[in-house]
Structure 1
Amino acid sequence: MKRFLRNNGLSIVMGGLFLLFWAGQAVSGYLASKQNADLHGDRQGDFADYLASGHFWQATGENWESEFLQMGAYVIFTAFLFQKGSAESLDPDEEESKPHRRSSAGWLYRNSLSLAFFGLFAGAFTIHALGGLAEFNEEMTRHGRAPLKLAEFLRNPEFWFQSFQNWQSEFLAILAMVILTIFLRQEGSAQSKKVEEDDDHTGD
């Protein structure tokens, strides 16, 4: 067990933090939804009802979507774009001098990481769209207006506002990582260059 925890500590901690914060999102979202219902004099369902609500799944899908888009795009961009001095980049000078060997692996396997991330993005985008549609239509019904169909909701600026506000923040965070790892260090981290390496050194 000790060896298993050592070998898988990073994924265990990340998975644990994900579940902890997702639970926090669910509880705080339920309380916020209850507060909003009380304000408008509406009936509020129980916690199980909230977990099946558009409000919960719109917020969940919206955030997952931006994360998977960012990771999929970053995996692809780092295959052919460089940043001299960054721990996040391949070294452009080494790549120019390195002989290009053709892999015997099939196209699907050679691109499986980015395809997995974009598949997860598509799933999260769908969750966001369906959850957002449910929440939007609840609001429309509350105001005595006709609900929208999915295709109509996807043309609604509110949906894209939700997406773009998350997408821009994800790529800002990646930009910060790419640039800051040129000049700054974190001793012992796989995401940082070694403390003694020059700023011009590219890669970790």
Structure 2
Amino acid sequence: MSALPRFVRENSLTLAFGGGFLLSLVGQALAGHANFNNELIAENLHPVTFWGYLRTSDFAVDVTENWQSEFLQFFLYVFGTVWLLQRGSPESKVMHKAGPQSDEEQKVGRYATEESPRWAAAGGLRQSLYSRSLGIVMCLIFLLSWLAQSITGSAAFNERHLRDLQAPISWGAYLGSADFWDRTLQNWQSELLAVASMAILSVFLRQRGSPESKPVGSPHSSTGVEG
């Protein structure tokens, strides 16, 4: 097997979803551009080019409001599953393993192997940070994308106000506005519903061959078992 097909096969999950992300982002940009120009024409304003639309706050806020909710979902899921359990779900640890587990179970410090990441064998702050690095990075991306949403959302909100000959508002005032929280909470509720549904539906339903599902013949009460 040549190096390229082997690389594709060994990274096919990331490549497939990454490619799907890019295609959907392009599709969103095309549809958003058409809709944005329809609104401008309806208001007797000049339409913008596609590349001009990509530089607008309308496009930026639509992208970032989805990103922040997705990374919030994974941040909460990564940290929540340390302590929270769901009997019978492959998305949960087994009932007696709630918590961060022992150094031996996590293969850190003196229990690290030759193949362990270097910071897993280190002590102190480096090990503490690396032990939580996935959740920390997810949280940082969420906070940055939420900040970007607030800034671009404020700009888009004020652009609409100016077109309607209304006074713009400050970024701080926008953070307390119904527009900001409507954009935010409608995404949060869908992400939290998706996680809760996956946790409970995977107790009773199966997908053969998927690590997100238990083996087809496993009892409903089997917890933390992947197929």
Unaligned runs of 5+ in 2: 110-119, 121-126
Partner of 2:94: 91
Partner of 1:132: 153
Shift of 1:101: 3.0
Tell whether the 8 Å contact from 1:53 to 1:134 is kept in structure 2 after alignment. Answer: no
Distance in 2, matches of 1:123 and 1:138, equals 23
Runs of 4+, deviation exceeding 3 Å: none
Shift of 1:100: 2.7
Pick from 166, 184, 191 the counterpart of residue 163 of structure 1: 184
* TM-score for both structures, normalised by structure 1: 0.95
Distance in 2, matches of 1:52 and 1:101, equals 49
How large is the RMSD of aligned CA atoms in angstroms? 1.5
Shift of 1:146: 1.9
The 5 Å alignment of 1:98-137 reads 100-101=102-103, 103-104=108-109, 105=120, 106-137=127-158
Partner of 1:25: 28
* TM-score for both structures, normalised by structure 2: 0.86
Distance in 2, matches of 1:126 and 1:20, equals 25
Distance in 1, matches of 2:52 and 2:152, equals 14
Unaligned runs of 5+ in 1: none
Distance in 2, matches of 1:85 and 1:177, equals 12
1:173 and 2:176 aligned: no
Q: Deviations over 1:56-115 (max 9, x none)?
A: 01110100000000100100000111101001000013x27xx73364342110110001
Amino acid at match of 1:178: A
Amino acid at match of 2:89: S
1:148 and 2:169 aligned: yes
Q: Deviations over 1:140-194 (max 9, x none)?
A: 1112222122111111111011000000000000011000000000001111011
Amino acid at match of 1:79: V
Distance in 2, matches of 1:36 and 1:124, equals 26
Identical positions, percent:
37
Tell whether the 8 Å contact from 1:72 to 1:114 is kept in structure 2 after alignment. Answer: yes
Aligned length: 202
Distance in 2, matches of 1:27 and 1:169, equals 24
Q: Deviations over 1:105-147 (max 9, x none)?
A: 4211011000110111012112211211111111111122221
SS at match of 2:145: helix
